[in-house]
Amino acid sequence: MPSSPQSPNPTPATTSKRPAPRGTAAYPRKRAVTACQVCRARRTKCDNLKPSCSFCLKVGAKCIQSPVDLSSYDPASIKILERLDEIEQHILRSQGDATDFPPKSPENVLPKPTVTSKVETVDPARVLVQPLENILQWQCLGLDPTTPGMQEQLSPAWSDTTNLAAVDLNAQFTGSAVDRFFTHVHVKNPILNERETRRLFTRISMHGIDWSPDSCLALLVCALGTLATPFGEDQCQTHPGTEVYQTAQSLYTAAQKRIGSVFCSGGLREAQCLFLSGVYMMSIFQREHAWRYFLQALACCQQFSFLRPGNRSGVPLQSNRIAEQAIYWSAWKSEREIRLDLQAPDFALSQAELAIYPPFFPTPPESHEVIPASDPTAMAMDEIAQRERLAWYFYLSEISLRRLHFRVASSILHVPVSPESDLLEELAKATEEHEEQAQEWVTALPAILSLQAPPENDDISHFILRGHLLNFYEMIYWPFIDAAINRRGCQHTHRWSPLLCSLVQKGLHRHVERIRDSIIGTMARCV
């Protein structure tokens, strides 16, 4: 490398080493910003925003950041920071001097407006329907708060399994039990394919019951079918202690002995068996045990491929996808309903969570080919198709109402209230729109599920839909009922606006309607 004129005798050091950049001594290498204590513990990157980083702000944690270490700053940056501190102090002193003027005379001072609510005790946390335990603590009821709550206990007929006899699963018995299951139980939660299930029983009748998950499912279907009766009929023949009840218990106990093989298999069959176990527990009025099964079934559903859009490991068959979506929705809604009533300490739902629902509708099964009338199985297959159609009409109608329920609940929780307005008045203004949405849902029901007929003519599907509709109406009128009963000075409700008074009357009417329409269903076992 030729030397420059300025250095006639270059040395290897001057020719092989590039000149140092300007200001190397004055601008030392800057260290990375230290993360806050929370991000440091999580070993994640921290954006060091002030006064709280993004992660701490998101989760509501206290963001503790180390004080700024100026030793790593270059002299010019330190000088700039000092000048900014001087400017800040100067501005603060100027603002302090501006407030040292003599106070104005009282006649020239306008009082600050105070925001007062027309209803003194309208708590935003009480705008949704309260659990039964909270209602029983209302002061107006005058109940003793020290009274221990009701504890669910297993009935002697359930806990004693020593006298359960073996059940002969002959074709006649299983055929009758399967028919009752699909007519009275499955119609409320169509999680199985009836044709495939009947083929499963055909195989079992030929080869017998083993310890497989399919045998566990078959025993659960028989147990539920044994207890199932037409809606509204006398339930005495299935009461604890009867022969029918003992038979169902024997079948259920046999199924639970095979539940271990179900856990080992995993997948769709596991979720189905756990869910049907919960349905059986509900049919004998054991809510807590049913909730455990529904919760486990919902946990099994979390591995389904349709919940993981980015998973390309395998595309499930359409039939499997239909079954997965159906069992997911059934487990989700059943677990959510019972959890709200149980008030489990570690599983409490916030009001924001009450307005969340799965973002999809389950896919109904595809229509099958029309079987010629000359085929000997045509009549039976047609009955299955009609039953399947009714079940899915009901299932989708119920889910659509639940989604509407959750959307309106979210709207009630987030109703905008200005400082000059009242929460109850704003809720009252929004109620008309909610009533219209409920009426639109009723109008959109298929003719086979129309609620125009009197409640006395309801079957199980109509009864459940009518009950969920009453739940919806009770929710939108609840804030006004609660305020009228629990606010301070409830004797002054005559000062309310006509709109508020009319909504209280509507709410009371719906509660009376609930008592009247639930007489038949009180004795029916429905999930």
Same domain membership, residue 493 and residue 410: yes
Boundary-marking domain end, from 347, 367, 383: 347
Q: Is residue 176 part of a domain?
A: yes
DSSP string, 300-336: HHTT-GGG-TT--S-PPPHHHHHHHHHHHHHHHHHHH
Same domain membership, residue 318 and residue 243: yes
Count of domains for the chain:
3
**pLDDT tens digits for range 253-291:** 999 999 988 887 778 999 999 999 999 999 998 999 999
- What pLDDT does residue 522 have? 61
**pLDDT tens digits for range 25-55:** 455 554 556 788 878 877 788 888 887 888 8
Find all residues with CB under 8 Å of 321, minimum gap 6, and list them.
305, 306, 363
What angle, 0 to 180 degrees and rounded to 10, lies between the N-to-C axes of helices 287-301 and 318-342? 140
> Cβ distance 478 to 422 under 8 Å?
no
- What pLDDT does residue 278 have? 96
Cα–Cα dist 470/514, whole Å: 7
- What pLDDT does residue 13 have? 47
Q: Which residue has the tokens 């106990």?
A: 253
Same domain membership, residue 336 and residue 461: no
Q: Is residue 90 part of a domain?
A: no
E strands in 249-310: none
Buried-state track 386-417, b at ≥16 Cβ within 10 A, e below 16: ebbebbbbbbbbbbebbebbbebbebbbeeeb
Same domain membership, residue 306 and residue 213: yes
* Alpha helices for 237-266 (secondary structure H): 243-257, 259-265
C-beta atoms surrounding 196 within 10 Å:
10
Same domain membership, residue 407 and residue 322: no
E strands in 324-430: none
What angle, 0 to 180 degrees and rounded to 10, lies between the N-to-C axes of helices 423-444 and 460-486? 170
> Cβ distance 369 to 321 under 8 Å?
no
pTM: 0.68
Same domain membership, residue 420 and residue 319: no
Specify the DSSP class assigned to residue 108: G
- Positions of the chain with pLDDT under 50: 1-8, 11-14, 23-25, 30, 98-121, 148-150, 154, 156-157, 160, 162, 369-373, 525-527
- What pLDDT does residue 88 have? 75
- What pLDDT does residue 477 have? 94
CA 260 to chain CA centroid, Å, is: 28
Same domain membership, residue 329 and residue 411: no
- What pLDDT does residue 437 have? 95
Q: What is the extent of the structural domain holding 42? A: 32-68
Q: Is residue 236 part of a domain?
A: yes
- What pLDDT does residue 108 have? 39
Same domain membership, residue 424 and residue 522: yes
CATH of the domain at 57: 4.10.240.10
Q: Is residue 372 part of a domain?
A: no
- What pLDDT does residue 425 have? 86
Same domain membership, residue 417 and residue 487: yes
Q: Is residue 3 part of a domain?
A: no
Boundary-marking domain end, from 306, 327, 347: 347
Same domain membership, residue 511 and residue 415: yes
Q: Is residue 215 part of a domain?
A: yes
Q: Is residue 121 part of a domain?
A: no
Same domain membership, residue 342 and residue 194: yes
Same domain membership, residue 441 and residue 505: yes
Cα–Cα dist 490/501, whole Å: 12
Boundary-marking domain end, from 303, 332, 347: 347
- What pLDDT does residue 270 have? 94
> Cβ distance 229 to 401 under 8 Å?
no
Return contacts of 235-244, CB within 8 angstroms, 24+ apart: 235/523, 235/524, 235/525, 240/155, 240/156, 240/157, 240/158, 240/284, 241/157
Q: Which residue has the tokens 């139980």?
A: 185
Q: Is residue 232 part of a domain?
A: yes
